[in-house]
Structure 1
Amino acid sequence: MRSTRIAAIGAGFTLALTLTACAGEGAGSGGGGDDGGEGAGEDATVGVAMPTQTYERWVADGNNVREGLEEAGYNVDLQFANDDIPTQSQQIDQMITQGVDVLVIAAIDGTALSGQLQAAADAGIPVIAYDRLLRDSENVDFYVTFDNYQVGVAQATSLLHGLGLVDEEGNEVDDAPEGPFNVELFAGSLDDNNAHYFWDGAMDTLQPYLEDGTLEVPSGQTNIEQAATQRWEQETAQERMENLLTSTYNSGQELDGVLAPADPLSRGIINALRSDGRGQTIEDGLPVITGQDAEIASIKLIADGVQYSTIFKDTRDLADQAVSAATAFLEGNEPEANDTETYDNGVKVVPSYLLEIHTVYEDNITETLVDTGYYTEEQVESGQL
């Protein structure tokens, strides 16, 4: 059952963190390399390990971290691993062998680098986990990220908002339709720790509506293992959506919404739905589809009324925070944390700095992305950088 309120695209809401800053408690030496915590000086080198260049945001992240570190006067060894775990392991091994003073790591698989983390600790090299938590090791000194549980909450809230069930801030509305609404659920890659936080935040938000029958999942695929998308690949999400349409919706059953945790997945889902003749835009039949990372191609789709929403995480701020943490270690200090309770990696709670997120809808693209200088109007109109 499709709500007539779907066409009313709401304004975005901001989920701001109100965490009190406190000092970090990292286990690193502070200085890295051979300086024994006394500060590495202007000749210091920071190793930056990013997962892939095939995902728009990681290219931007890598470049932003490199530029920030270079502006601070440090040398940078930036490597992309093309989503291949052995490649990333080798790259980090090489950085350690060459004597970098700090490591900034956005892991492909947060559980796959224990040997490298131990080698870094043995060499006195502090390790900063970048957006993806490094798990199952005590040798993680700091974590910079966004509030990933709240990302999931925001995605689910935007789905409910698109269905007319809540307002932009997640409050139930008086004239909400009764439903039931048919929805399908997608999750990220199981080897990415963030995917579990996204899922938990989203499912905690959706659960009351699933329990009272307002939302239904006709496929029955309601756990993260069933919904997962390995390596966050667009093609994998598209194939799963095609399979769902064939197995569950082949009799013309209506699909009202899709929880998608990232923009490449959203675009794959949209491709499958369009190919199945389920409309070209939300106005003429496409379900409400969420997203994340505010990729320019998806921002164009939102502007055109195709994708409903995305979560904007300003990676410029994330890069700045990584630079700030690295600088603190290089100067023999501890980075400032604003969360020392949430991110347990299985061995220790890693002191963290969490950044705020924003939900982007059609009518706040300019305010959120253009006015802040993240994109230009021309880029939004063309859907290209």
Structure 2
Amino acid sequence: MKKIGMLLLVLALVMTGVWANGSKESAASGKMTVGVCMPTQSSERWINDAANMKKQLEALGYTVDVQFAEDDVQAQVSQIENLVAKQVNCLVVAAVDSSALVNALAQAKEAGIPVIAYDRLLMDTDAVSYYATFDNKGVGTKIAQYIEETKKLKTAKAEGRSYTFELFMGSPDDNNALFLYNGVMEVLQPYLDNGVLVCKSGRTSFKETCILRWSQETAQQWAENYLSAFYANEKLDIACTAFDGFAYGLRSALEGAGYTLGQDWPLVTGQDAELMATKNIITGYQTMSIYKDTRLLAQKCTSMVEAVLKGAKPEINDTTQYNNNKLVVPSYLCQPVAVDKSNYKAIIVDGGYYTEDQLKI
């Protein structure tokens, strides 16, 4: 009778999902762990992403293990391998260089751990289940459309106007960077072709304009070189940058070259609407940025984690764009918003992303 009772108890545990390695445990029990791998803490953006993910996942009862790789590829490989060894229930990965993660992600798949790509597509792996990101081509499109509208490029040819123009694009090991570049060039290439935009460095391809690891220092060095080599006798009118960090580097280079705010300062774009960037928009050192509400992205990713761990299907709005060379990864794309001095209060402050006090100069 004791053996029969024990068998019945085991059967009850299995049926209620409490048995085995905990993969069926309720999130409310606090025993399910989500590993969150972020690329670096050197960018405000990734700190905010990690904090939002942790807050939202913990609110659902999950334990959250956040790891920052500080843009060190091998460090991120080790972090993922360690999380797999700890038998986390799900992995969320924003890659430093996804091509280096293929073997580590294969270990996760072999261990039965679902993987969600966060804002950077995981390439060349079939271990990834879903992808949460912003519309990366849309980011580039909005940057380019802002330039087009602000400088009235559509009528410039007929009116005899032209503008000097340089590109500072994202990291070649980040798949998003190419999407963004394509969005920019889809809008602006015709103006380069007809002479409305003049790139005096001649560097307009993605290969020529991409900056490894989104390095602010490299962007500044490039800008300093361009300004001395090509713009000694003619001012730079437009710096099309793909990241707020690049815009910070541009500011330093422009100040060093003697540019003056309110006189010959160029139009400078950016992405992420970081706190410093928003302050620079207010003062005029940066013209615009792309606001990406990381709270929303974290919310969508959190819902993906929740669905995966409950055996359900998450909300998806794109099943065609993101081919990682192994599969087309089902994705949710959040929409980016262009912000400048005219609308930052309505979008950023009224939206509760930053307060007026935070933005005091």
**TM-score, structure 1 normalization:** 0.85
Q: Deviations over 1:167-193 (max 9, x none)?
A: xxxxx4699853221101111111111
AA in 1 matched with 2:289: T
Does residue 1:278 correspond to 2:266, yes or no?
Answer: no
After superposition, the CA RMSD in angstroms is 1.9
**Distance (whole Å) between structure 2 residues aligned to residue 68 and residue 220 of structure 1:** 46
In the alignment, which residue of structure 1 is the partner of 2:102?
114
The DSSP-based 3-state class of the residue aligned with 1:141 is strand
The question of whether the paired residues in 1 share the 8 Å contact of 2:235 and 2:264 is answered with no
In the alignment, which residue of structure 2 is the partner of 1:17?
none
In the alignment, which residue of structure 1 is the partner of 2:75?
87
Q: Compare CA radii of gyration and give the structure with the larger one.
A: 2
The alpha-carbon deviation at position 156 of structure 1 amounts to 1.1
In the alignment, which residue of structure 2 is the partner of 1:57?
45
Cα 1:35–1:339 shift into 2, 3 Å:
farther
In the alignment, which residue of structure 1 is the partner of 2:5?
none
The question of whether the paired residues in 1 share the 8 Å contact of 2:80 and 2:105 is answered with no
In the alignment, which residue of structure 1 is the partner of 2:313?
334
The alpha-carbon deviation at position 334 of structure 1 amounts to 2.2
The answer to which structure has the higher helix fraction is 2
Cα 1:176–1:293 shift into 2, 3 Å:
farther
Cα 1:162–1:360 shift into 2, 3 Å:
same
1:61-210 equivalent positions in 2, closer than 5 A: 61-165=49-153, 172=154, 177-210=159-192
In the alignment, which residue of structure 2 is the partner of 1:349?
328
Identity of aligned residues (%): 43
Does residue 1:253 correspond to 2:234, yes or no?
Answer: yes
Q: Deviations over 1:261-317 (max 9, x none)?
A: 0001011012101110121x2x21111010000011111111112211000010000
**Distance (whole Å) between structure 2 residues aligned to residue 196 and residue 186 of structure 1:** 12
AA in 2 matched with 1:122: E
AA in 1 matched with 2:114: P
Cα 1:291–1:177 shift into 2, 3 Å:
farther
The DSSP-based 3-state class of the residue aligned with 1:73 is coil
**Distance (whole Å) between structure 1 residues aligned to residue 199 and residue 157 of structure 2:** 23
The question of whether the paired residues in 2 share the 8 Å contact of 1:292 and 1:310 is answered with yes
AA in 2 matched with 1:93: E
In the alignment, which residue of structure 1 is the partner of 2:215?
233
1:294-333 equivalent positions in 2, closer than 5 A: 294-333=273-312
The question of whether the paired residues in 2 share the 8 Å contact of 1:145 and 1:354 is answered with yes
The DSSP-based 3-state class of the residue aligned with 1:96 is helix
The structure, 1 or 2, with the larger RCO (C-alpha pairs under 8 Å, 6+ apart) is 1
The question of whether the paired residues in 2 share the 8 Å contact of 1:39 and 1:330 is answered with no
Q: Deviations over 1:11-65 (max 9, x none)?
A: xxxxxxxxxxxxxxxxxxxx9x966975664311000000000000000000110
**Of 224, 227, 231, which aligns to 1:242?**
224
**Distance (whole Å) between structure 1 residues aligned to residue 162 and residue 312 of structure 2:** 55
Does residue 1:46 correspond to 2:34, yes or no?
Answer: yes
Does residue 1:379 correspond to 2:361, yes or no?
Answer: no
The DSSP-based 3-state class of the residue aligned with 2:128 is coil
Cα 1:133–1:294 shift into 2, 3 Å:
same
In the alignment, which residue of structure 2 is the partner of 1:4?
none
The DSSP-based 3-state class of the residue aligned with 1:379 is coil
The question of whether the paired residues in 2 share the 8 Å contact of 1:187 and 1:199 is answered with yes
The DSSP-based 3-state class of the residue aligned with 1:184 is strand
The question of whether the paired residues in 1 share the 8 Å contact of 2:240 and 2:268 is answered with yes
AA in 2 matched with 1:248: F
Cα 1:273–1:60 shift into 2, 3 Å:
same
AA in 2 matched with 1:357: P
The question of whether the paired residues in 1 share the 8 Å contact of 2:216 and 2:248 is answered with yes
AA in 2 matched with 1:228: C
**Distance (whole Å) between structure 2 residues aligned to residue 355 and residue 245 of structure 1:** 36
The DSSP-based 3-state class of the residue aligned with 1:363 is coil
Aligned residues: 342
**Distance (whole Å) between structure 2 residues aligned to residue 88 and residue 40 of structure 1:** 29
**Distance (whole Å) between structure 2 residues aligned to residue 173 and residue 380 of structure 1:** 36
The DSSP-based 3-state class of the residue aligned with 2:324 is coil
The alpha-carbon deviation at position 164 of structure 1 amounts to 2.9
